[in-house]
Amino acid sequence: MSARLELSLPLPPSVNHSHRNILLRSKRTGRLYTAQSPTRACRRWRSTAGMFIDRARGDARWETVSRPARVVVEVRYFWPDRRRRDTHNRIKELCDALQRSGVYEDDCQVVVRELGFELDRVNGHLEIAVFAEEAAR
């Protein structure tokens, strides 16, 4: 297994735009309730990110990090313009995508380090480095 997984991903949708509320009716009681459903942009990003992550895992011969080991995910943002953005609004989708692709067992193992942001008008993206740490003593 490689000691470090490095990859570049397109920017994930922010938490504010990744899910929408939908109204459903319970089959058992007939009552209405709301649930969250991923938006089309979120589903598209998940699919694209999954392909990038799977390819990077294969190239690095990365094996799934099992609990109780901690996993550090370092993230650097490259925004496509100068608008104000919340960096931590993108972490959830990123961590979920890494878990779905088998980088680690459970996203409760993850410590995210945001390393900063820069401007890349041509190709807004994330640069990510993932590595395992031994469990806390």
Tell me the CATH number at 118: 3.30.1330.70
| Structural domain boundaries, residue 102 | 5-133
Separation between Cα atoms, residue 9 and residue 126, nearest integer Å: 5
Q: Which residues lie across from 37 on neighbouring strands?
A: 20
pLDDT in tens, the chain (137 residues): 568 999 999 999 887 778 888 888 899 999 998 988 888 999 999 999 999 999 999 999 999 999 889 999 999 999 999 988 888 888 999 999 999 999 999 989 999 999 999 999 999 999 999 999 864 44
Counting the structural domains of the chain, the total is 1
Q: SS3 for 99?
A: helix
Residue 109, classified by CB atoms within 10 Å of its CB into exposed (0-12), middle (13-18) or buried (19+), is buried
Q: What is the 3-state secondary structure (H, E, C) of 55-67?
A: HHHHHHCCCCECC
